[in-house]
Structure 1
């Protein structure tokens, strides 16, 4: 049985989180990691991050732990695969805290399985939708999900694809987009692979209108959507076919562009019909001044946590470039692009 490394710098923890952890590790061999000054080798391991969110909506103990481990090595989680358990003393903070943990750990070399999170708010009301299909209490559903999460984590054995198909989604104009220019620096190193670029122009993809489950499911069986258009004709078939999706995201207002957000929202119709666990996501993010991490965390929340895409290590390439073509003046950007492309070819797995 593969050994599990449980990262828990915050003690004591709530009874709820204690029960979640016990359900996850029951009958399994594990190592408890709670001292940032005495850290075992955490490379090529299966990692379970356990986080207690306080009334302010954060976990200062976990952030401090990750800060200290980062001082030791920027590759301390290289080759490792992770999942997260989070409990909040309030109704808030679980998703944001999980996004922070995943973003930081990913930048230290950790990949994350699709749907890597079990979160529990104070009332456990976030499990009400599950209860519609399960004859279990909210607490029982929570613990069931914890057991299933760890089972998927420990059984996860991804292999590198030799000839991956790569899809790049973008919505920026060619002539002025530093983001697209940065992607082309990367894609030059992917000439031996099947790469498709798909432009999502303004107004082409209507946002999701929240169809009833049965209606959405009906159209999804045929890879269609009630609203049709480019989403049903090109985007959904491409996402189904390709092994990795690269999201090209300029930062306009510290948020993913509206066109791409609409694409994410409309993925539900395909999500109901297939698992995205064996599809990898990457991101190219360019900001005029700051905030690229905000975009990266949104993508983690929407695509890795919610939709279940696999998150490879070092999934995002971020840069600051304001004026058109100024991306080419960023120090070391060509080498960063080459290394990012190299990481993609290694980390597109199934």
Structure 2
């Protein structure tokens, strides 16, 4: 699959597992070297109930809506061209403790390698309260978005969202807490509804670094790509996830072969973003 572009259709006989199966397949395709455009999935549960909102918008039956969405997905797949940037802007987002975090150490090592060819920025969400999305209705959310704010306002609206809009790659640092994304990152992703109701994020990339104390990094990676690529619509580049196992502080950077893995991951991101020469 190296260098290919992949979109997915998940058709289920019941109401369960279509999305989780698609997330697992999306991660496998990315790690095999494929691009996944933003929103690369059309799924159909057994009842097709998950088509009913779009069916009402289009004035079609659920079956007709499903067929139309698959056709549109095929057209997007055929026309997809990965965007390239002469000097990419990379935004690293995390909620990690400065002194002890294995994930942050890995992320900063990646930024150091990218900094010669990219404009890099780091934003930490650990300090202060990051309030989760309150679930405003669509029109209320759109009203806030058109005024470049959110119901809660604060640092996300004033600093983080503008930085996201200016970036070409979002690099999420995701320590594995209980086989799930951390609360602050989840709140950020949920609050990004305020962006996607107004902005098209389909020319931006998303990648992740996951450090697990024991195992399960793939579970966290699937949550991230499910939220940011399958749902929010960012592009998943080839080999978009660096997955490491490290429990004690400093273990990640002491692991055998970690330097080569960081170098390969960084070079892969640069290859996806631009046609520049190899990193030193």
TM-score with structure 2 length normalisation?
0.95
Q: Does the 8 A contact of 2:83 with 2:203 survive in 1?
A: no
Choose which of 220, 240, 251 in structure 2 pairs with 1:326. Answer: 251
Q: Which residue of 2 aligns with 1:14?
A: none
Deviation sequence 1:195-235 (CA, Å, 0-9, x none): 11001025522101100111101111132111101110011
Q: CA deviation at 1:161?
A: 1.3
* Counterparts of 1:259 and 1:156, CA distance in 2: 32
Q: Which residue of 1 aligns with 2:24?
A: 100
* Counterparts of 1:255 and 1:304, CA distance in 2: 17
Choose which of 148, 156, 162 in structure 1 pairs with 2:86. Answer: 162
Q: Does the 8 A contact of 1:204 with 1:229 survive in 2?
A: no
Q: Which residue of 1 aligns with 2:241?
A: 316
Q: Which residue of 1 aligns with 2:65?
A: 141
Q: CA deviation at 1:336?
A: 0.9
Report the RMSD for the aligned CA atoms in angstroms.
Answer: 1.1
Q: Does the 8 A contact of 1:112 with 1:310 survive in 2?
A: yes
Q: CA deviation at 1:258?
A: 0.2
Q: Does the 8 A contact of 1:165 with 1:195 survive in 2?
A: yes
Q: Which residue of 2 aligns with 1:292?
A: 217
| 2:269 is equivalent to residue 339 of structure 1 | no
Q: Which residue of 2 aligns with 1:189?
A: 113
Deviation sequence 1:152-174 (CA, Å, 0-9, x none): 00001124212000000000111
Q: Which residue of 2 aligns with 1:24?
A: none
Q: Report the secondary structure of 1:81's partner residue.
A: coil
* Counterparts of 2:231 and 2:83, CA distance in 1: 23
Q: Does the 8 A contact of 1:160 with 1:346 survive in 2?
A: no
Deviation sequence 1:220-259 (CA, Å, 0-9, x none): 1132111101110011111111000000011111000000
| 2:204 is equivalent to residue 279 of structure 1 | yes
Q: Report the secondary structure of 1:196's partner residue.
A: strand
Q: CA deviation at 1:300?
A: 1.3
Q: Which residue of 2 aligns with 1:7?
A: none
Choose which of 36, 44, 68 in structure 2 pairs with 1:120. Answer: 44
| Runs of 5+ consecutive residues of structure 1 not aligned to the other structure | 1-76
| Higher strand residue share | 1
Q: Report the secondary structure of 2:134's partner residue.
A: coil
| 2:186 is equivalent to residue 261 of structure 1 | yes
* Counterparts of 2:86 and 2:97, CA distance in 1: 32
Instruction: Work out which structure has the larger RCO, using CA pairs closer than 8 Å and 6 or more positions apart in sequence.
Output: 2
The number of equivalent residue pairs is 273
Q: Report the secondary structure of 1:335's partner residue.
A: helix
